[in-house]
Amino acid sequence: MSLDLRIPMGLLFTIVGALMTVYGLVTFGSNIYQRSAGMNINLIWGLVMLVFGIIMYTLGRRADKRPKPAPVEGTTRPLGHGHGH
């Protein structure tokens, strides 16, 4: 696959999650949370999104690395596919 979707998606959620977490911390105890039933929803949901983003990104990176061809047996050259066919 050309581009694993989990990487950009993970990045987006990580960044948005981080922003919301920071915003939640800054506004901690502020009365804007009256409307969300007293929960600091920015902080809580920011963390949820942060964790989700990081998991996605890690999964995407790992899958990206896996399919690389294993070096051919017996060759000591660092690049397994040096000469073309």
Partner 1 sequence: MLLYFVFVLGIGFALKRFMKTSKDFFQAGRSLPAWICGLAFISANLGAQEVIGMGASGAKYGIATSHFYWIGAIPAMIFVGVFMMPFYYGSKARSVPEFLRLRFDEKTRAYNACSFAVMTVFSSGISMYAMARLIQTLHIFDAAFIKMNLPLEWEFHFAIFLSAIIVLGYIFLGGLTSAIYNEVLQFFLIVAGFAPLVWVGLKNIGGWNGLKAALPSAYMHSWQGMTNPQHNPLGVEWFGLAMGLGFVLSFGYWCTDFLVIQTAMATDTEEAARRVPLIAAIPKMFFPFLVILPGLIAIATPAMVQHAALQTPAAVTGAAPSTTDAKAASMYKGLIPVKVNPTTGQVMTDEKGNPVFDYDLAIPNMLLYYFPTGILGLGLTALLASFMSGMAGNVTAFNTVWTYDLYQSYIHKNASDAHYLKVGRWTTVGGILFSIGAAYLATSFNNIMDTLQLVFSFVNAPLFATFLLGMFWKRTTGHGAFVGLVTGTVAAVVHHGLTLPLDGHPGIHGGWIGIVHYYPSQMAQNFWTAIWAFSTNFIITVVISLMTKPRPEGELVGLVYSLTPKPVEHHMEWYERPKVIAVGLIAMLVALNLIFR
Q: What's the rounded Cα separation, in Å, for the pair 57 and 52? A: 9
User: In angstroms, what is the minimal distance from the CB of 55 to partner 1?
Assistant: 12
User: In angstroms, what is the minimal distance from the CB of 8 to partner 1?
Assistant: 6
Nearer Cβ to partner 1 (4/79): 4
Applying CB under 8 A, the residues found at the interface with partner 1 are: 1-3, 5, 8-9, 11-13, 15-16, 20, 23-24, 27, 32-33, 35-37, 39, 41-42, 44-46, 49, 52
Nearer Cβ to partner 1 (27/54): 27
Q: What's the rounded Cα separation, in Å, for the pair 81 and 4? A: 23
* Pair of tokens at residue 54: 């990081």
Nearer Cβ to partner 1 (38/70): 38
Q: What's the rounded Cα separation, in Å, for the pair 46 and 24? A: 8
Q: Which residues contact 18 (CB under 8 A, 6 or more apart)?
A: 46, 50
